Structure 1
C-alpha cells in the first residue's frame, strides 16, 4: 500500500473517525490487512466494514507508524469527520502556502498544479481577484488599413502583420488591456468556424476575417465587441444543425451583438456532389423563417443532408457572393 496516497489516507481516517468504511479499489487492500489483524469486521451492509471499538487505539498506532503527519491530520478533522476526502487532506497540507502578491491571472493548468492534484486535475475555483485563463490565441486576417492603438499610445499596423505572416494573432491575455481598433474599418466582419475554411477562403481587401473555432467563440466575440456596431457581422460555418446553432447562439459578451448566419448562394453548385447524409431529420423549429427560405438550406432540409463549409471556399464566385452580402447589410 502506498501511504503517500491521499486517497488511502482519507479512507483510513474515515474508518478511524466514522468507525465504518465501504470497500473500494483504494480501501480494499487496507481492509483486507486490518481484517487479518483483527481490527475490523464485516458490517451489516454488503461491502462495508466496521472498526472494532476495542481496536481503536491499536489502529491509531498502526496509522502513526505509516503516516508521519497522522496526529495533526486527525486533530484537524476530529470535529468534522464527514468532510474527510483526498482533496481536503491535500488542502490541509497546502494551507500554509500562499500565492505571491500581485498575481491577477493564472493559466488553468498552472492553477490546477498549484491547488489541485496535478495540472490536468481541472481545479477551477481560484481565490477572489484571480482570473483563470486558457491562453488561447485569436487568429485574424485583417482588412487593409486596419490598426490597433494601445493604452500607452503605441500603434500596431495590421497591414504589416498581414504582409509578413498573412494574419494577426491576438493572445487571450491581450484582451485584458485597454486597446481599440482604428484605422480603416472593414465593411464586414466574417467569423469562420473551421480552420481550413478560415485559411483558404479568398477575401476582398475590405473584409475582416476572424477564426471562431466550433463553439469556442469567446475570443472572437470579445474582439468583435471592440468594433463599432455599424460594422456588420456575419458567421460562416458548416451547413448542418450544429453549425447553424452556433451561428444563432453567438453573442458579444459585452454588447450582446449577434451575427447573421451566412449561407453562400453559390453553395448550391455543391449540393449534389458534396452534401452528406444526416442521421436524423433537421430540427427546424428554432430556425428563423428567412433562413428556412434560403434555397440551399431548403434543399438540405428536404433531402436530409448537410454540407461542410470547407468545400464552399474554393468556389470562384465566393468573393462576389460575400460582396453582395456586404452591400446588402451596409444598406440597412
Structure 2
C-alpha cells in the first residue's frame, strides 16, 4: 500500500500541482517537504508543487511506475480514480480482469477484480455474483418449485431425502412456487432442532443457521402470506437472529417460545449478556439471572409438536397459485 500511496500522490501532484494532507499521507508529504518538492499554500492542509520541482516529482513517479500514464488512462477508462491508492494496488488484477457472464462466486470476483476475496471489487461485476449458500428446508405437503428446466415436488423430494437442499445458483433460476403454500413457516437456528422438529404436513421448517440468514430469507420472501415463527435459542443471540430475519423479510417479529418453557428454568450460564428482552416473565427471569435456554432442550417434549400442530390448524391456509 505504501508504494501505491506514493504513486497515487505523485500522480496527483504531477497532474494537478496540489494535494491535501490526510492521515494516511502525512509521513509521505513530510518526506516531500524535506526534499523541497512541495510547500504549503496557506490553505488548511493544502500543499502545492514548488516552482521548478515538477520534473523531479515526475522522475520519481516514472521510476516507481514507468507506465503510469497508460495506467492512469486505463483506470479512468474503467471509471476508477488513479489518485486512489486502492485502485493503484489493484491494477494488476484489474488488467487481468475479463468479461464473465452467468454466475460467479463473489469472492472469486473480488479477488480477480480488486484487492482480494474479502475486499470490495474495484469494478462492477459483469456476472451475477453468488455466495453459494445452500437452502435447507423441510417443506409442507403439496409445495412445488418451478424452475426453467423442470417442476420439482419439494415434499416428495424431502420424503426421499429427509429434506430439500437447493443451492443458490439453482434457487436463482426459480420461476415461482406452486401448489399448496404452508400455513406455518418455522425458521430454526440449530441443525438438530431443524431436523427433528415435529411439524404437521401443512407446515414447513427452514434451517437458518445462526447469523447466516440469507438462504432462509430468500425462501421466506416467496412465502409472503405464510405465518412465520422463529424458533431458536432463548438468549441475546437468538433474539438478534430473529430480529434480523424479521427486518430482512419485512415482517413483524414473531418468536416461538414454548408455553411450557418456564419449566426449563433456571437455564444455562450466559456468553452474551442480556441487554434487552421482550416483556414476559420468562425473559425477565432470564435477564435477572443472566441465564439462557437452548432450544434443543425442548425437542423431546411431546408438547412441542402438539403446540405447533395446533398453531397450524388455527392458521388460515394462504392462497395457492
User: Do they fold alike, i.e. is TM over 0.5?
Assistant: yes
Say which of 311, 315, 318 aligns to 1:325.
311
Tell me the alpha carbon deviations over residues 189-232 of structure 1, each in whole angstroms, 9 at most, x when there is no partner. Answer: 21112334324x33245242101234443432332343472x43
Kept after mapping to 1: 8 A contact 2:72/2:82 = no
Quote the offset at 1:10 in angstroms.
Answer: 1.0
Alignment of 1:240-255 (within 5 A): 240-244=235-239, 246-248=241-243, 250-251=245-246
Aligned to 1:122: 120
Q: Say which of 171, 176, 180 aligns to 1:175.
A: 171
Q: CA deviation at 1:263?
A: 0.4
Query: 283, 286, 291: which is aligned to 1:300?
Result: 286
Match of 2:137 in 1: 140
How far apart, CA to CA, are the structure 1 residues paired with 2:152 and 2:309?
A: 29
Aligned match of 1:287: none
| C-alpha distance in structure 2 between counterparts of 1:117 and 1:314, whole Å | 49
1: CA distance, partners of 2:58 / 2:272:
63
Structure 2: runs of 5 or more not aligned: 76-80
How far apart, CA to CA, are the structure 2 residues paired with 1:74 and 1:104? Answer: 30
Q: Distance in 2 between matches of 1:142 and 1:315?
A: 22
The question of 1:192 aligning with 2:188 is answered: yes
Q: State the alpha-carbon separation in 2 of the partners of residues 21 and 257 from structure 1.
A: 47
Tell me, yes or no, if the aligned pair for 1:15 and 1:21 is still in contact at 8 Å. Answer: no
Number of residue-to-residue matches in the alignment: 311
The range that moved more, 22-31 or 108-117, is 22-31
Superposed CA RMSD in Å reads: 4.5
1:288 equivalent in structure 2: none
Work out the CA distance in 2 between the residues paired with 1:24 and 1:228.
Answer: 49
2:233 matches 1:202: no
1:139–1:210 contact (8 Å) kept in structure 2: yes
- Which structure exhibits the higher relative contact order, with contacts defined as CA atoms closer than 8 Å and separated by 6 or more residues? 2
1: CA distance between counterparts of 2:8 and 2:121? 19
Structure-2 residue corresponding to 1:63: 61
Shift of 1:28: 4.8
Q: Distance in 1 between matches of 2:252 and 2:307?
A: 21
Report the equivalent of 1:260.
254
The TM-score with structure 2 as length reference comes to 0.72
Structure 1 residue corresponding to 2:152, chosen from 143, 150, 155: 155
Give the 3-state SS of the residue equivalent to 1:317 in structure 2.
helix
Partners of 1:331 and 1:156 in 2: how far apart?
19
- Secondary structure class of the residue paired with 2:117: coil
Q: Deviations over 1:294-324 (max 9, x none)?
A: x534543565543232333344432223223
